[in-house]
Amino acid sequence: MNKSIITCTLLVSSLFFTASAEWFVETVSTSGGQTPAISLDSAGLPRIAYGRSGQGAKYAVYNGTSWSTELIYDTYYGDCEYFDMVTDENDISHVSFAWTGCIISAVQDPILDSWNYVMPTAAYGEWNSLGLSSENNPGISFYSFEHNLKYLYNNGSQWLIELVDAGDDAGNYNSILREGVNKAYIAYSMNLPTPGLKYAYRDESGVWNTSFVDTSMIAEPMGISLVHNGNGYPCISYTAPEELRYAEWDGSVWNVETVLSLATGDAKETGANVYDTSLALTQYGNQRIAHCNLSGDSLSYSWNDGTGWQTENVCPVGNGGGDLDLTLDSQSRPHIAFCAGPSDGLMYAFNDEAVGVEYTEAAIVPVNFNLVTNPFYGNLNLSFNLPESCHVELTVYDLQGREIANPLSENLSEGSNLFSWTPDTALPCGGYIITLEAGSSTVSQKVVFLR
């Protein structure tokens, strides 16, 4: 039988620089582009959900050569805005947005090649953000018209709504992640009584816990974007007055950095009037932030090179433009959707090389998944090198995120290690996710098993 070797890298030692190549910027649609959201399919091709003034919610797909658009939700009055989108492991896109204050959840129907949508609550709101559970059930955080942060979610059988935090403009800007069946995480703004950035966590029992991340500002933060790093710790980009900031939890405390500030004196590389941010992490956990200026002069891109933050301008945007969303592909190449202004429509920016520096302080740990080519039969053999002795876990999950097996959990010596997993005779054929944790690093690979 032919075999393929798929190599993943857990950690990277010395610094290496990936040069910034040319940014490619193109117009996707001249009729609309309000508050877009972008995601990638399994082939790394972009999809964008966006609004068109008075004409509903739309969806643009790139097939590798050209863009095509379709309608998600049709309306003859009012605007659809505040889009967020997640594309699941089955290449099905889930979208949330607000239409004249009504929160709408939409999902693709791949069989009928159409969209199914619902208005799951009578509560009015905006500034919504979308996350999926391990069962691909949507959860939506939103700023309600009662000036509170609320959480709207589907448990598989019905929609439910919960109050997360109350205050003056609590959650006016928010960003959500879901994990497992019940967990959810939200980064959001607070205005009064204490202006600042807050973080809320919903545990498996459904209890919300909230705390402040950063209160060193005179007004509520804006442009909030939340992701989790490889350790499962939250990372947040946001703006304070005249500053672009980044916060990261290290397991004990929040560490807050200023990415750009008016104090630098260089107008085009300051945080002055930064009003929108979108954060993504590379496969090595390094930060990438897309952001835009209120004056409408440029779309910018920032990264940390291990010694400090660097910034470059991507392209100019028209007055009133921005509303950006960033995602990275498997090669850490940036894809950005943004609005170029009321008259210029939906725009897409892409760089065909990873922009910035990848770095970590650890040594190289190559991990080889030795698989029979699509699908594999019999044993799954694993070989890996450890720079030092550490605890190693091998876990097998199904595509819904449920743990199927934990065949390896022990301390292993440095150097070359071999392991072979034989699936249980009762294990159904199909797709699975193999996850290897070595020390503080994790890699995963999707596999298909047949007998």
Spatial distance between the Cα atoms of 239 and 138, rounded to a whole number of angstroms = 27
pLDDT for 13: 29
The sign of the dihedral angle between the CA atoms of 65, 299, 287, 175 is negative
Residue carrying the six token digits 């620089």? 17
Cβ pair 142, 126 in contact under 8 A: yes
pLDDT of 136 strictly over 70: yes
pLDDT of 266 strictly over 90: no
- Among 106-110, 160-164, 425-429, the range scoring the smallest mean pLDDT is 425-429
Quote the tokens at residue 451: 């007998």
pLDDT for 112: 85
- Residue range 104-119: mean pLDDT, rounded: 93
Cα of 297 vs its chain's centroid, Å: 26
- Residue range 217-231: mean pLDDT, rounded: 91
Share of the chain above pLDDT 70, in %: 84
Share of the chain above pLDDT 90, in %: 47
Quote the tokens at residue 433: 């996710």
pLDDT-derived band at 241 (thresholds 50, 70, 90) equals: confident
pLDDT for 271: 39
pLDDT of 143 strictly over 80: yes
pLDDT digits (tens, 9 = 90+) for 207-222: 999 999 999 988 899 9
pLDDT digits (tens, 9 = 90+) for 267-321: 333 334 556 899 999 988 899 999 986 455 688 999 988 778 998 889 887 666 6
Does an H or E element contain 369, and which? strand 366-372
pLDDT-derived band at 42 (thresholds 50, 70, 90) equals: very high
Spatial distance between the Cα atoms of 79 and 278, rounded to a whole number of angstroms = 23
Burial class (CB in 10 A: 0-12, 13-18, 19+), 88: middle
Bridge partners, residue 313, by sequence: 300
Domains of the chain: 3-8+363-449 (2.60.40.2550), 21-354 (2.120.10.10)
Phi, psi of 35 (to 5 degrees): 35, 60
pLDDT of 196 strictly over 90: yes
pLDDT-derived band at 373 (thresholds 50, 70, 90) equals: very low
Residue 199: Cβ within 10 Å count: 20
Cβ pair 16, 54 in contact under 8 A: no
CA-closest candidate to residue 222, choices 271, 261, 258, 274? 274
Task: Rank 274-283, 328-337, 393-402 by mean pLDDT and report only the highest.
Answer: 328-337
Residues 6+ apart with CB under 8 A from 291: 223, 237, 239, 244, 260, 274, 276, 277, 278, 299, 300, 301, 302, 324
pLDDT-derived band at 133 (thresholds 50, 70, 90) equals: very high
Q: What's the whole-number average pLDDT of the chain?
A: 83
Spatial distance between the Cα atoms of 259 and 305, rounded to a whole number of angstroms = 12
